[in-house]
Amino acid sequence: MILNQVGTRRFKAYTSKHLDELLQRAGLSDESRLKVRAVATVLPFRTNAYVVDELIDWSAAPDDPIYRLVFPQEDMLPEADVARLADLLKAEAPNAEIQAEANRVRAQLNPHPAGQKELNVPTMDDEPVPGMQHKYPETVLFFPKQGQTCHAYCTYCFRWAQFVGDADLKFASDDIDQMVSYIRHHPEVTSVLITGGDAMIMGEPVIRRYIEPLLGLEQLESIRIGTKALAYWPQRFTTDPDADSTLGLFEEVVNAGKNLAFMAHFTHPRELESPLVESAVRRILGSGATIRTQAPLIRSINDDPAVWSGMWRRQLRMGMIPYYMFVERDTGPQDYFAVPLARAYEVFRDAYSSVSGLCRTVRGPSMSATPGKVCVDGVTEIAGERVFMLHFIQSRDPSLVGRPFFARYDPTAVWLTDLRPALADRFPFEPAEALLPA
């Protein structure tokens, strides 16, 4: 295959210092650019030349979906907060004053949803283990220190707190021995998810340091890599200097008897169209790894059944496995991107019903909430009451997995905490004592 010019170009990042210049390319007014810059003091901005030059349709900006996927929008945060920050920027206030206001706004955005800090951090010898999460018995998440950035940031990202420079908000560790020791002491762990950020931001020698020690753990069945590199920098697997050695490492994982699963994020069909992506997918699959695809349902970007069915079909043709449609998490600018659960179910149902059985490996819409992954199975009427049908795909309490439960129908609900139990006094994950009078 003949690669286009961008296929041989070195990686070039754009950060907040380039933001105003790029916004002018989108045709934004001075006032709008100032407001976007204000939002970018709170939420992180980073993109790269491949996204800017190959994926965004600048003639359609700022309404282009890929543009909206990576560029902050002036109305993503409360108007009063944006106005205060814009005034500080316009007045050229000291950076410390701007950051103090930005930190105040961040604190209101639920930076660590679903009990990540309080419930998910494991302990050894009664001390918390940094850079790890252990929510479900079988799976440990590890956040390698060098992998806590991305080729580009998604505006909807639920891990935005990893990227704002606040050590108190960040999960990260380079203690490989501690990771291995923890897994050895927990034989129920059969899968490790290397996440971030994006693990594939690391070069091969670095990611090898994290993966090789896992190969000798017989209890492990799979190693997962959470990445959006296939969408945002497919050159990582084709023309980057360490592309071949990276694929060689993947082969070593497979030859060691582990399933190597790429958890690839594709949020819009355009991310799949480049010949570079096709080449990268073929090379990864050629190493023996599998690629499973997932993304959240995002208002104004992919809230259309045809978008999802088209993505799933194309992913299937390319050899990937459609895996999850997520619900936008309750963090950051959730109000800006969230799709009501009733509409989310309709989008999933209509997309699911229009694809073949081989695409129906996909699950959703799924909420990664505090008690576990909750799937919205439908809307129906029982005993005269309209209800959501739900079940746990995964749960902190394994006894709840697969058990159906019901919630009162609410057309405005966007998250599990917006729902109220139906046909029962409480949800199955709620303790009975919560019902006792104070």
Domain layout of the chain by residue ranges: 13-107, 123-365
Quote the pTM value.
0.92
DSSP reduced 3-state for 250: helix
Query: What is residue 5's predicted lDDT score, i.e. its pLDDT?
Result: 45
Could you tell me the CATH superfamily of domain 123-365?
Answer: Aldolase class I (3.20.20.70)
Predicted pLDDT at 2: 31
Q: pLDDT, tens digit, for every residue of 79-128?
A: 999 999 999 999 999 999 999 999 999 988 888 775 777 788 999 988 99
Q: What is the pLDDT at residue 7?
A: 52
Burial 27-45 (b: 16+ CB within 10 A, else e): ebeeebbbbbbbbbbbbbb
Adjacent-strand bridge partners of 389? 378, 406
For 346, counting Cβ atoms within 10 Å of its Cβ (0-12 exposed, 13-18 middle, 19+ buried), the class is middle
How far apart CA 387 and CA 138 sit, in angstroms, is 32
- What is the C-alpha separation between 278 and 272, in angstroms, rounded? 8
What distance in Å separates the CA atoms of residue 405 and residue 424, rounded to the nearest whole number?
9
pLDDT confidence of residue 44: 92
- What's the pLDDT at 117? 73
Low-confidence ranges of the chain (pLDDT < 70): 1-9, 114, 168-169, 433-438
